[in-house]
Structure 1
């Protein structure tokens, strides 16, 4: 069982090792983007394409790099599962506390080789309306790609998602069994 779990609460912090590996990967893509941009400056035939791809890579992975460096020093838990609900701070588009009463379904699924815990909500639009505008926009874009409104990935968590899912399901079922 998860060592971060007691009978009332599961508190998980990001794995510093996993986040550090992601920092190195993001940095590599920023450097690769810079290289493509530089080659685009010198190559006359495909210069525009290389420069655009380079700029996109630098901007996207640069933002990822900033977020990941912030995560390395952030002491806030990535995930909290307790009697209130699930507090998700595990990604850049995390939405904070989601009460158990708002969760319609919890699923464990794979998408593009990555494992996720998905939370489908009774009222997705009300949940999105509570988010900051940038988070809301990213969540809406993400919604078309994955199977759930809220998605928790294995990427930076130090425990297997199957164990986290089991704890979440037990808490969720207890709340739903108590409701009339």
Structure 2
């Protein structure tokens, strides 16, 4: 059984690092320059740790070698969903979702599916407002086209188990 493992893109982490470096530098400049007012220094001290956290986040994403999504003929697993392997038989539909530039695929699940991720009422309401069904695969850190991934998932849920391996090979032959 072939498994396809999708990893975080290091270029996303490099972009985050490239955005945080100038902001931290401005904060340090506000703190160290002689003619800074008290407000400038306060803003510098707020900005440096806030944007400096981006350094740690970028390095974590850059050197995190764990797979984000694993796909095989039995199901799909996403590390961010806090679920076990999700069987293709339990997925009823999939649709792409874009929330402020963050890419997701929201999965509509069978009634027999038991989610391990319990949400507060306000979070469920917010999820419904943005078009989420409650179980979302996060694609923002992965270099993959959300439309292609959605099409792949829809074909996998319609295909019988013995033909799924061929479908995986068709979509991920260059991986």
Q: Report if TM-score (shorter chain) is over 0.5.
A: yes
Gaps (5+ residues) in structure 2?
161-175
Deviations 1:38-57 (A, max 9, x none): 13323223321232122111
Q: Does 1:107 align with 2:95?
A: yes
The aligned counterpart of 2:15 is: 25
The aligned counterpart of 1:40 is: 30
Contact 1:37–1:53 under 8 Å retained in 2: yes
The aligned counterpart of 1:132 is: none
The aligned counterpart of 2:163 is: none
Contact 1:37–1:55 under 8 Å retained in 2: no
Match of 1:151, SS state, is strand
TM-score (norm 2): 0.62
CA–CA distance in structure 1, aligned partners of residues 92 and 44 of structure 2: 45
Gaps (5+ residues) in structure 1?
1-7, 130-135, 176-180
Q: Does 1:67 align with 2:60?
A: yes
Contact 1:33–1:56 under 8 Å retained in 2: no
The aligned counterpart of 1:95 is: 82
Contact 1:40–1:50 under 8 Å retained in 2: yes
CA–CA distance in structure 2, aligned partners of residues 123 and 56 of structure 1: 43
Cα RMSD (Å) of the superposition? 3.6
Give 1:35 deviation, angstroms: 1.4
Identify if the C-alpha distance between structure 1 residues 64 and 163 changes in structure 2 by more than 3 Å, giving closer, same or farther: same
Any runs of at least 4 consecutive aligned residues in structure 1 with deviations exceeding 6 A, and if so which?
Answer: none
TM-score (norm 1): 0.60
